[in-house]
Structure formats: C-alpha cells, structure tokens
Amino acid sequence: MASVSGLGVDGLVSGLDTTSLINSLMTAEAEPQTQLKTQVTNTQTTITALQGLNTQIASLTTLATTSKSSTSLSLFTTTSSSANATATAGTNATAGTFDVVVNQVAQAKVGVSAAMSTWPASGSGSTTPAVTIVKADGTKVDVTPSSNSIDAIVTAINASSTAGVKALKVAAGTDSSGTAQYRIQLQSTTTGAQSDFQIYSGTSSDVDAGTATNILTATGAAVIKPAQDAQVTLYAGTAAEQKISSSTNTFSDLLPGVNLTVNKASTDSITVGVAQDTAGATAVASGLVSALNGVFALISTKSAVVNSTDSSGNKVVSGGPFTGDSTVRGANDALVSAASMPINGHSPSEIGISINKDGTLDFDQDKFQTALASDPAGTQSMLSALASRVADAGTQISDKYSGQLTGVITGQQSMVDTMNDQISQWDIRLAARRTALEAQYSNLEVQLSQLNSQSSSLTSGLASVPAVYTGA
C-alpha cells in the first residue's frame, strides 16, 4: 500500500481499511476515464471492421477493373496433336485449326578448339595475347586476356559483356612430351542464325589484315552445332507452302494472337487447334459476382442486431460495428445498384446476373454461357459496362486518398487519438488525486495517534490526583 513518510496508510490507529476506501474513491473518480477507455475500445473495433471492409472493396475494385476490359471474355484454349509443338492464344486470337511441319529447331552455335596447352600466337607473330570475336553481322569484339594461359583466355571471354559467347575449359589429355592439353569449348549465348560467330587469335586489326588465326577452322578444331533458326512450314506440299523462321523456338503471332513453341523437328504434320475458353470466360463473370456477394455478406454480418440476456436475465439488444452506419449502408446500396441496374435498356439478368430479394446476386452459369455463345460481343459489352460501374463505385468508396470509407476511418482514428490523449491526461490527474487522498488519510492517522496519546496522558494524570476527603 502507498505510504507517506514511510508510514502505512491503513488505519493502525483508526482501524479503517483506508486502502479499500481510497480504491473505492478512485474508482468513482476514474469513471470518466473508464468511459473514455470503453469508447476507445468500441471505436477501435469499428475501425478494424471498416478497414476490413475497405480492403475487401478495394480488392473487388481491382477485380472489376480487370473484368471491364473489352477483351476480358476473349479467352482461348489451344490443343496440339504432337508434343513437338505447343501453342498459346491471346485475346486477339480466332478459333480454328491449322497444320504445321517443324523443319528444324533453333540452336546456339557450339564450337571447340584444337587441343592446346596455351593460346596460340596470332598469325602476325605478335606475342601479346589477344582474342577477337566476329559476330554474324560482322561486328568485332576485342577481348584482352591477362596472359596466354587457357584459364586467362576463358576468364577474359566470359567476362566480356558484348562478346555474346561463353567459354569452357575442357581437358584433352597430354601431348607427346607429357604436357597437359586442353580444348576451349565456345557457345553463343543466344540461339538463331544471328548468334553465329568466329573466334580469332589476334586483334580486330589482325582480322582485317587477314593475319589473325581462326581458332574454329584450325586443324583439330570443330563446329559441334551450327547456329540456326527454328523453321516451320505451313500448308506443306501445296502451292501455298510457306516457310517461316524464328531465332528462338517460339514463333510469335504465327497467326494473330497465337504463339507456337517447337521443341523437336519432324516430317509429320502437326494440327494445332484454337477454341474459345468458355469455362475461363464464365469464371470471369462468376468471380465478379462472388466478390460482390462477399462484400454484401460482410456488411450483413457486421450489421446484424443480436438479442441476448445479461447475467441478471435481462434482455440485451446489441448491434454490430456497422449497425446504423450510413456510410456503410450507402456503400452497399451503391454496389447493388452498380451490379443490378439496366445497361442500355437491358437487364444484367440477360447474361445470368440477377439480384435476389435479400440484396445478394445470383449467377446463372448456363444462361451466361448461352448468351456468350449466341452473342459474344453483346455479352462482353454488358459485362464490361457492369464491371465498369462496379469499379467506379468501388473507387468512390475505397480509394486510399478520397474514398468515403477511407475518410470515415481517418476520422474515427483521429477521434481515438484524441481520446487516448485525454486518457493520458486523466492518468496524471488521477495519480495526483490518489497521492492527495493517501496524504489526507495518513495525516488523519497521525492526528488520531496524537489525540490518543493526549488522551492517555490525561487519563494517567487524573489517575495520580489524590482523592478529596469529604468526611463521613
């Protein structure tokens, strides 16, 4: 228990339980602060609920923004009659089939030098080690190694950011004198005919002068794989036969919106099919409806009024954090209207999106797919318009700068901050009040002790006074 000058407050003289008495007085004194704390807790609960709703509506807005694209339903699947070729289709593809023959696949050039113990001197007789790589377009890249050792050559080539070639040191046994021999394997870093290269011992000037040594054409050297483009043939065996090349194994926009990737050459014709992805398109529409219903369910759950009884058996009616919140109600109404109002005189129910009596949405998959099959452009237009309205409504509600819910959350948080400041001020005030009460009751005990002492002195003094004889 708190004390003054080291003396306990509890009534040593008075017999009073001053600790409990002071605590009771402080409880009464702290009632305004207690109410503030309760208000902070309730407001924070509301803020948390509003933040959850705001996040969910923001996610809905993002989804609606994607769904409102004029090509959101233009989804396609592809098939191939052979694993040697696969296809992907974009939103600008057209359903249909085509045949293709894979003549060859793209590959990087791989060459290997003759066995050597050190990098050979250039044809000009220079003893300074030099490497020149000549690309397919004639571009020359000079590489300057630190020495003519195989390791130095490999390191210098691999360190070049413009050579377009990587080198590898490969053991090749020993020569007749027992000296270790190595080959340098060289590979272009890209595929296709344009990745072709030659490598010389000598500078670019030596190459121009014809005095440099071509490492890949020297005796004992070899080109393991030539640089080549991938090539396919359309309409093979007909008068319309057409060969198409690609520096990689992927042919971009071989047909509008269709990319073909090949991985093995074959003389067999491969049939590639492109079909509308009805399931994928349906998922776009149903996903939007599900996201809307998720928002509506959250609002409904946290707006529900609950009837219960307290510990005394009295009926208690309590609302959720959204009960009576006009901003939340307005957000719900805005999203319902955006998803259910007519579009150019047509109801969204025509594409399978309808509103129920409880304010939620229903999605009829069969009806949507029927509408998509019979009028793909009209179905896309209606879904895009609906999604656009939802996205606009969601932005007005949840925009992180100007959204209606964002503003409410900011205001509520400011209120909490203010109340927390007031609670802190009450802490100071109550601490001072407790100190004053403890001092007051401690002084009371001291005064009672003094009075008791005086009383004892008087009693003792009176006891020592002789009795007065009055006679008999």
* Tens-digit pLDDT profile for residues 225-238: 999 999 999 999 99
* Tens-digit pLDDT profile for residues 391-434: 999 999 999 999 999 999 999 999 989 999 998 898 898 899 88
**Residue 469 DSSP label:** P
Tell me: pLDDT of 468 over 50.
yes
Give the integer Cα–Cα distance in Å for 374 and 443: 95
Secondary structure (DSSP) of 190-240:
S-SGGG-EEEEES-HHHHHHT-SEEGGGSTT-EEEE--B-EEEEESTTSTT
Tell me: pLDDT of 137 over 60.
yes
> pLDDT value at position 149?
96
Closest CA to 191 of 102, 262, 90: 262
Mean pLDDT on 129-144: 96
Tell me: pLDDT of 472 over 60.
no
> pLDDT value at position 7?
43
pTM: 0.70
Q: Higher model confidence: residue 461 or residue 33? A: 33
Helix, strand and coil content of the chain, in percent to the nearest 5, comes to 45, 25, 30
Give the up-direction half-sphere exposure of residue 437: CA atoms within 13 A in the CB hemisphere.
Answer: 20
Q: Higher model confidence: residue 22 or residue 449? A: 22
**Phi (first) and psi of residue 126, to 5 degrees:** -65, 140
Tell me: pLDDT of 466 over 70.
no
Q: How many CB atoms lie within 10 A of CB 7?
A: 12
Mean pLDDT on 144-167: 96
| Residue indicated by tokens 């203010």 | 418
Tell me: pLDDT of 109 over 80.
yes
Strand pairing class (140-143; 131-135): antiparallel
Which letter, b or e, does each residue of 145-157 get, where b requires 16 or more Cβ atoms within 10 Å of its Cβ? Answer: beebbbebbbbbb
Which residues have a Cβ under 8 Å from the Cβ of 309 and sit 6 or more positions away?
315, 316
> pLDDT value at position 10?
62
Q: Higher model confidence: residue 459 or residue 419? A: 419
> pLDDT value at position 209?
93
> pLDDT value at position 6?
40
Mean pLDDT on 96-100: 95
Mean pLDDT on 125-148: 92
> pLDDT value at position 5?
41
Tell me: pLDDT of 8 over 50.
no
Q: How many CB atoms lie within 10 A of CB 186?
A: 26
Helices 31-67, 404-464: axis angle to 10 degrees equals: 170
Mean pLDDT on 193-222: 95
**Phi (first) and psi of residue 274, to 5 degrees:** -125, 125
What mean pLDDT value characterizes the chain?
91
> pLDDT value at position 314?
79
> pLDDT value at position 271?
97
Mean pLDDT on 358-384: 96
The strand ranges marked E within 347-463 are 353-355, 361-363
Mean pLDDT on 280-300: 97
Strand pairing class (131-135; 197-201): antiparallel
**Residue 268 DSSP label:** S
Asked if 131 and 236 touch (Cβ cutoff 8 Å), the reply is: no
Give the integer Cα–Cα distance in Å for 163 and 157: 7
Share of the chain above pLDDT 70, in %: 93
Closest CA to 188 of 169, 167, 165: 165
Q: Which helix (H) or strand (E) holds 110?
A: strand 110-112
pLDDT band, residue 4 (cuts 50/70/90): very low
pLDDT band, residue 454 (cuts 50/70/90): confident
